Amino acid sequence: MAAPDDHELPARPRRYGRGVFLATVVAGASSLAWGKPVWSRISGQIGGAEALVPLVPTGGWRIYTVASTMPTFDPTSWKLTIGGLVERPMTLDYDELRALPRVNQISDFHCVTGWTVNNVHWGGVRLADLLHRVGPTAEAHGIQFVSAEQPYVDSLTLKQAMLRDVLLAYEMDGVPLAREHGAPLRLIIPEMYGYKNIKWVSEINLVPKAEPGYWEQLGYDQDAWVGASNGYGQKEVRS
Amino acid sequence: MSRPTAPGYVRRFSRSERVLHWVNAAGFFVLLASGLVLYLPSLATAVGRRPVVKDIHFWAGIGWVSALVLVALLGDRRGLLRTARELDRFDPEDLRWLRGRRPAPQGRFNAGQKVNAALTAAFVVLFFVSGLLLWLGERDTSFRFASTVVLHDGLLYASVVLLVGHLYLAVIHPATRHALRGMVTGTVREDWAREHHPRWSGSD
């Protein structure tokens, strides 16, 4: 039983309902200014939302696609062609791709919509190495990646493509790239937002100039530097 | 306003209150289902058709909030305003109830239901604003914030926790699940009302 003086609280009802409502709305709206840094600190310590909610195995990833179905990878018929303005055009099947000199890399993956996956372990081929094999001609200043997910396409400048941590990745976190992550091959350019990290790469063409890709035709920046493009941070000229 | 009720029953919820509740519930479930397809990699892979699911999610969100506003405007406005005032006010018994002290005789809504209503209303506003920002941000960089997606996800987790508690009390917990009848038919047993909501006259 409660102490009798509990009943001697002021009899006038308090308007706590609107207080709870307004406090929640204000806290939520203000989180637009602090949500991401706070959440990345927390999730860095506990290992992501699935540590709290084991039923939700996202691994921090969201799967963004633009076509009605995801491409299916068939190892027996899959081919990668590298052509356009090159001295030595190439066509690789999956075994030939896996036989190329392999690099391992740990890098963060940033999506332009705000989510980030830290310390992803990639295995694949350095794009610069592959470009040395095919030999871009003097007119080639852009490189176009065609996805098997039509009509997704995007390009880098040749200079961007030669950055040391730009990979064509066929492994993620120790296993062959999963279908939803672009099996069997995706581009990884950690300095740029996810939409430049083309999934299901099936064709690479050296071209005179980098052309706007799928999302860029819808208004996204062609040079998608993390933290310095698409309305984030100071726009700077890096290429 | 009150229509005849069966003997031994009292009217707890008006038609407008019930329509508002079920419109909110239906909209939430459509948004939850389509949202999970967009959010969970396994479901996204199994379902595919992301552009279509995105459209469904977006228009369900617009429809959800529009329907809530329409019910509030076209329904029993004065009755709903009265209900809002009821939910707003926490008297000393409510505060005792929240601190876990018993007995703390409750009115038509207990203090937990009042908190639930305030949080649910706040979540609707925040879901709508953050969802709209995600949609606009895809079209114009000035609406793009790095934390919008964190807010929208956080709301998902918070509202599912709230929903699980709500469903447990409304469907499973033997002492309280009779309340579901009130939200479906409008009326509840008089003896149940006297036990759980003794300070509610039952005359509304």
Q: Look at A111-115, A120-124, A126-130, A132-136 and tell me which has the smallest mean pLDDT.
A: A111-115
State the pLDDT at residue A50: 60
State the pLDDT at residue A3: 47
Q: Which positions in chain B touch A17 (Cβ < 8 Å)? A: 84, 87-90, 114-115, 117-118
Residue-wise pLDDT for B129-185, tens only, equals: 999 999 999 998 889 898 999 999 999 999 999 999 999 999 999 999 999 999 999
Q: Which pTM value belongs to this model?
A: 0.87
Nearest to B50 by CA among B37, B63, B62: B37
Residue of A nearest to B83 (CA): A17
Contact B114 A17 (CB under 8 A): yes
Dihedral (CA of B142, B147, B150, B154) sign = negative
Mean pLDDT of chain A: 90
Other beta carbons within 10 angstroms of residue B169's beta carbon come to 17
State the pLDDT at residue A238: 47
How far is residue A95's CA from residue A104's CA, in Å, rounded to a whole number? 18
Q: Residue A201 in contact with residue A153, Cβ under 8 Å?
A: no
Residue of B nearest to A3 (CA): B101
Question: Which domains are seen in chain A, by residue range?
Answer: 17-52 (no CATH), 79-218 (3.90.420.10)
Work out the minimum CA distance from B63 to partner chain A, whole angstroms: 21
What is the ipTM score, two decimals?
0.93
State the pLDDT at residue A237: 47
Identity of residue A167: L
CA separation, residue B96 to residues A9, B115, B135, B201 (Å): 10, 14, 43, 20
B32 touching chain A per CB within 8 A: no
Residue A2 is nearest to which of B84, B89, B101, comparing CB atoms?
B101
Token readout for B173 is 């917990």
- Per-residue pLDDT band for A221 (boundaries 50, 70, 90) equals very high
**Prior bond to A71 cis, omega within 30?**
no
pLDDT at A1 over 50: no
State the pLDDT at residue B142: 86
Contact A35 B140 (CB under 8 A): no
Contact A232 B146 (CB under 8 A): yes
CATH numeric code, B9-196: 1.20.950.20
Contact A36 B118 (CB under 8 A): no
Residues of chain B under the 70 pLDDT cut:
1-4, 201-204
State the pLDDT at residue B41: 87
- Mean pLDDT to the nearest integer, A145-173: 97
Tell me how long chain A is: 239
What stretches of chain B show up as alpha helix (H) in DSSP?
A: 15-39, 41-47, 50-74, 77-88, 92-98, 111-137, 148-167, 179-185, 190-196
Work out the minimum CA distance from B95 to partner chain A, whole angstroms: 9
Contact A180 B153 (CB under 8 A): no
Indicate the domain borders of chain B: 9-196
- Per-residue pLDDT band for A54 (boundaries 50, 70, 90) equals low
- Mean pLDDT to the nearest integer, A189-209: 97
State the pLDDT at residue A57: 59
Work out the minimum CA distance from A108 to partner chain B, whole angstroms: 16
